[in-house]
Amino acid sequence: MYPVIYDFGEISILGFSFHPVINSYGFMLMLAFYACYYFLNKDLKMLGHKSSLAGDIIFAAAVGGIVGSRIYFIIENFDQFLKDPFGMIFSGGGLVFLGGLMGGLLAVTYVINKNKLSWLTVADHVAPLLILGYAIGRIGCLLVGDDYGLPTHLPWGIEFPNGIPPSTYSVFQTQYPWVDISSFSPGVLKVHPTQIYETVIGLSIFYYLYNKRKNIKVPGTLFFSYLILGGVERFCIEFLRINQKYFIGLSGAQLISLAMLAIGLWFIYNPVSQMHENAAGKK
C-alpha cells in the first residue's frame, strides 16, 4: 500500500509550519478528472463546442459527485452520523461512487440545460468517461487499502495491514460481524483485491463504450448501455465485497445496480426519440 505518493516534510514560512503531502487517493481522483476532461474536450471540440464546456461539465460532475457521494455515505452509516455528524461530513473518506453518480448526473444536467444542449447526446459522450473515472478511482482505493473484498485463501489475495480499516481478524470481528471468518486464523487476513477486479473490468467497459461512440444511431444508446454494464459489474462484485446485505440478501449498492440495469434495459428497448427530447427541453 502507498497511501502517500510524496511527503514534502515540514516546511516553515513566515513562522507558520506546513506538512504538505501528495496522497495517492487524491492524486488518482485528480488523474481521473483530468483523464475524463481530456477525452470529453476532444469529443466536444469535434462537435464544434468550446473547451470551456468540457471544463464546466467536469467541474459540475466533480462537485455534484462529491456532494452526492457524501449524502449516500451518511445515509448508509446514519448511526455513525448521529454520533459524530461533523466528523462524518468533513472526513476524508466516504466518497461512495453510486451516490456520486446520482449527484454528478444532477449537476451535469443543470449544465446541459443551461447551455440548451441535447441531454442524450452529451450523456452518450460522458458515458464511457463515467466508467473510466471509476476504474482509475479504484486504483486509488487499492493504494490506500480501502474498499477491499471478503477474506480469501486464494493465492492472489492481498493483505492490508494498514488499510482503511486494516484487514485483520479483529477488525472483521468488530466492524464486519456478518462476515464469516471461521476458517481463518487470527492476524492479518488476505482479502479479495476487488479494487483490481473493478479496475480491469472498468477499463474493459470503457474501451468497449469509447469505441462505439461514433456509431450511435439512436441518441442515448451509449449512456443506457453504460447503466446496464456498470450495473451488472457492481451487482456482481458486491458478492465479493464486505458491505452488509439489507434486503433479500442484497446490499444497498446491489439494489441501486438493479435500478441502473432496469432503467438501461427499458430505454434500450424503448428509446427516447430526439424529437421528443427537444420538445421536452423547450417546455
Same-domain check for residues 204 and 117 = yes
Which is more confident, 64 or 277?
A: 64
Residue that terminates a domain, selected from 191, 207, 242: 191
**Is 69 part of a structural domain of the chain?**
yes
DSSP state of 49: -
Same-domain check for residues 174 and 41 = no
Q: What are the tens digits of pLDDT across the range 72-82?
A: 777 766 666 56
Same-domain check for residues 143 and 180 = no
**182 within 8 A of 104, measured Cβ to Cβ:** no
For 73, the domain range is 27-149+195-281
For residues 168 and 162, give the distance between their C-alpha atoms in angstroms, rounded to a whole number: 9
Q: What is the pLDDT of residue 162?
A: 92
**146 within 8 A of 194, measured Cβ to Cβ:** no
Domain count, the chain: 2
pLDDT band at 4 (very low <50, low <70, confident <90, very high): confident
Same-domain check for residues 38 and 166 = no
Which stretches of 14-50 are DSSP H helices?
24-46
Write out the H or E segment, with its range, that includes residue 78. Answer: helix 78-83
Q: What is the pLDDT of residue 86?
A: 56
In this prediction the pTM is 0.86
**Is 46 part of a structural domain of the chain?**
yes
The burial of 260, by beta-carbon neighbours within 10 Å (0-12 exposed, 13-18 middle, 19 or more buried), is given as buried
**Is 114 part of a structural domain of the chain?**
yes
Same-domain check for residues 139 and 175 = no
Kindly tell me the sign of the dihedral angle through the C-alpha atoms of 205, 210, 216, 221.
positive
Q: What is the pLDDT of residue 283?
A: 47
For residues 68 and 65, give the distance between their C-alpha atoms in angstroms, rounded to a whole number: 5
Mean pLDDT of the region 134-138: 92
Same-domain check for residues 156 and 260 = no
Mean of the per-residue pLDDT values for the chain?
A: 87
Q: Is the pLDDT of residue 115 over 70?
A: yes
Mean pLDDT of the region 218-233: 95
Amino acid at 221: T
Closest by Cα among 116, 126, 115, 109 to 281: 116
**Is 15 part of a structural domain of the chain?**
no
Amino acid at 235: F
Closest by Cα among 126, 165, 161, 96 to 33: 126
pLDDT band at 100 (very low <50, low <70, confident <90, very high): confident
Q: What are the tens digits of pLDDT across the range 27-60?
A: 998 999 999 999 999 999 988 898 899 999 999 9
Mean pLDDT of the region 145-172: 95
**Is 275 part of a structural domain of the chain?**
yes
Q: Is the pLDDT of residue 64 over 50?
A: yes
Mean pLDDT of the region 235-261: 92
**Is 8 part of a structural domain of the chain?**
no
Q: What are the tens digits of pLDDT across the range 229-245?
A: 999 999 999 999 999 88
